[in-house]
Amino acid sequence: MSRRPTVHLNLSVPARAAPAAALPAAGVGLLRAEFLALSVGRHPLALLEEDGEEAFLTVFRGGLETVARAFHPRPVTYRALDLKSNEYRSLAGGERFEPVEANPMLGRRGAFRYTLRPEEFELELRAIRDVLDSGLDNVHLLVPFVRTLDDLREAKTAVEEAGLRDRDGFELWAMAEVPSNALLARRFAAEVDGISIGSNDLTQLVLGADRDSAELSQRYVATDEAVLAAIGLIIEGAHAAGVPACICGDAPSRDPGLVHALVELGIDQISVVPDAFDETVAAIDVAVHSGAAA
């Protein structure tokens, strides 16, 4: 019989946590931090300069606490900020802190950004610590856009220095969004407590197809055999390292056919938008039953 994955939810807006928590989901597989930053309307460093650390902490701590409380004791996996430089530049004060990059999608973002601007990441880690200290022990951390093992290890060091790694029940996850994560899947997975596949970036980088290009929309397909092969390598590597594999990109929310393929590949968790929860559960039912019949 095929492995039955648990179904989690993708959330961006903390105010929507309560109705989402009413669903019988296993937890939040992806809580995006970007909405919190965008809701402020100012670049994080401008916010720090003008209003100080507490203003930054209040925004991120408050949003995370709202979601963690709504879902407690189910896990909430908070993905640290992954805005691109052009998105940061669009915020008030952003042009003072961000370069103009020819290709922001592949530029200053994700784990690499934390090595350039450690103060922003350190404040996010403090916000997580504050929420854990409040008694909400269901918060995990997901590090986005990890290009290299060194990037991941530097992020791990920051997490350790923030005093999070020794917390009971705390888990550190890493995104798998670039081909290097598939090629060295077991080594990446061995560094963390779980791997979460970002199907959006993984699809465009495996296929070399701009996800925002209308002309290439027919080439940007998450069920392409090359993309599924990369996903399979990531899942195999995670299991070889003894950790679970989740997928939290948008594609499973839109494509029941991909859900079927993920079940066959042995995915442990599928995280989708709340509106796609029932459809995803139904697609998993079909996939599991067909696997049992086979």
pLDDT in tens, 42-96: 998 898 899 999 988 999 999 999 999 999 999 999 999 999 999 999 999 999 9
Q: Return d(Cα 54, Cα 143) in angstroms, integer.
A: 23
CB half-sphere exposure, 135, CA atoms < 13 A:
1
The answer, yes or no, to whether residue 160 has pLDDT greater than 90, is yes
pLDDT digits (tens, 9 = 90+) for 190-236: 999 999 999 999 999 999 988 888 887 888 899 999 999 999 999 99
- When the pLDDT of each residue in the chain is averaged and rounded to a whole number, the result is 94
Sorting pLDDT into bands at 50, 70 and 90, what band is 3? confident
Lowest-confidence pick of 25-29, 39-43, 269-273: 39-43
Q: How far is CA 80 from the centre of its chain?
A: 8
Domains in the chain with CATH codes: 6-293 (3.20.20.60)
Once rounded to an integer, what is the mean pLDDT over residues 170-181? 98
pLDDT digits (tens, 9 = 90+) for 232-263: 999 999 999 999 999 998 899 999 999 999 99
Question: Which pLDDT score is estimated for 234?
Answer: 98
Percent residues over pLDDT 90 in the chain: 83
pLDDT digits (tens, 9 = 90+) for 82-96: 999 999 999 999 999
The answer, yes or no, to whether residue 19 has pLDDT greater than 70, is yes
The answer, yes or no, to whether residue 294 has pLDDT greater than 50, is no
Question: Which pLDDT score is estimated for 292?
Answer: 52
* Contacts (Cβ under 8 Å, ≥6 apart) of 217: none
Dihedral angle, C-alpha 178, 181, 182, 188, nearest 10 °: -170
Question: Which pLDDT score is estimated for 290?
Answer: 83
Q: Return d(Cα 28, Cα 269) in angstroms, integer.
A: 11
The answer, yes or no, to whether residue 1 has pLDDT greater than 80, is no
Beta strand residue intervals within 169-253, DSSP E: 172-176, 194-197, 245-247
